[in-house]
Amino acid sequence: MSNVLVRAENVHKSFGANDVLKGVDLEVAAGEVVCLLGASGSGKSTFLRCINHLETLSQGRIWIGDEVVGYRQDGNNLHELSDKEASRQRRNIGMVFQRFNLFPHMTALENIIEGPVQVKKQKPAEARQLASELLARVGLAGRENAYPRQLSGGQQQRVAIARALAMKPELMLFDEPTSALDPELVGEVLDVMKDLARSGLTMIVVTHEIGFAKEVADRVAFMHNGQIVEIGTPSEVLDNPQHERTAAFLSRVF
């Protein structure tokens, strides 16, 4: 694959005796949207957290561009980055979680500018201008001064997306961003994500929204028991699954 942005090789992750990831391999090109599907407990969210070094690997490596995630490579040896170095590396990776994780004592605008001002040392006036533009982009123009408690779940998640975008990431990770929302609020968040996909942003999305995956993804990967057992275009995987676990999962979803 040309222009690879994300490369995972033989990724393993264990929590004690529980082997959650058992050799995940994946390449994602710049500008590509990859959706990860699979039953709960298949390792999707853990893999996403490994990409952002929120979980350390038990074995294997992940690269973002030319950098090994979470480590500095010295010949054949790897040295884990300090917290400060890992935070610097994360600046290029945006992540949106199931829960919105907004600061409750800050307005929508204040939540968005916190990272650019504190981490990237952006001038407050520039950060506020960008935050207003991003709020408009996610359909929340005029809600700059609203606190999280004054916003619906869908609106809070859209603020969380704007907050991640404010850091100008080259990669966006979404961990089931609609799973905590009431059904009638799911569409407004998916619409924002569709717009981001059309803009050419590289995205890896853990989701159970099959319709979204079919419409937006360049490729769909199905995970089972800590491994990617099938990957291909949405039509290949969703309309004509080759692996029995993929077929069984989709038969329950549709």
Q: Can you give the pLDDT of all 254 residues of the chain as single tens digits?
A: 569 999 999 999 999 999 999 999 999 999 999 999 999 999 999 999 999 999 999 999 999 998 899 888 777 777 888 888 888 888 889 999 988 889 999 999 999 999 999 988 999 999 999 999 999 999 999 999 999 999 999 999 999 999 999 999 999 999 999 998 999 899 999 999 999 999 999 999 999 999 999 999 999 999 999 999 999 999 999 999 999 999 999 998 87
The strand ranges marked E within 30-150 are 33-37, 59-64, 67-68, 71-74, 77-80, 93-96
Give CA angle at 29 (25, 34), nearest 5°: 65
Residue whose C-alpha is closest to residue 127's, from 150, 110, 146: 110
Contacts of 132 (CB under 8 A, 6+ apart): 109, 141, 144
pLDDT at 14: 97
Give the 3-state secondary structure of residue 243.
Answer: coil
Query: Tokens 């979680």 — which residue?
Result: 97
One-letter amino acid at 155 equals Q
* 8 Å CB contact between 51 and 9: no
DSSP 108: H
Residue 191 in tokens = 């619409």
Q: Note the pTM of the prediction, 2 decimals.
A: 0.94
* 8 Å CB contact between 32 and 218: yes
Give the 3-state secondary structure of residue 42.
Answer: coil
* 8 Å CB contact between 208 and 179: yes
Give the 3-state secondary structure of residue 74.
Answer: strand
Alpha carbon distance 47, 60 (integer Å): 12
Instruction: Give 59's strand partners.
Output: 12
The alpha carbon of residue 237 and the mean position of all alpha carbons in its chain are separated, in whole angstroms, by 21
Dihedrals phi, psi of 29, to nearest 5 degrees = -80, 155
Alpha carbon distance 136, 139 (integer Å): 5
Classify each residue of 88-127 as buried b or exposed e, where b means 16 or more C-beta atoms within 10 Å of its C-beta: ebbeebbbbbbebebeeeebbbbbbbbbbbeeeebeeeeb
Classify each residue of 28-63 as buried b or exposed e, where b means 16 or more C-beta atoms within 10 Å of its C-beta: beeebbbbbbbbeebbbbbbbbbbbbbbebeebbbb
pLDDT at 43: 97
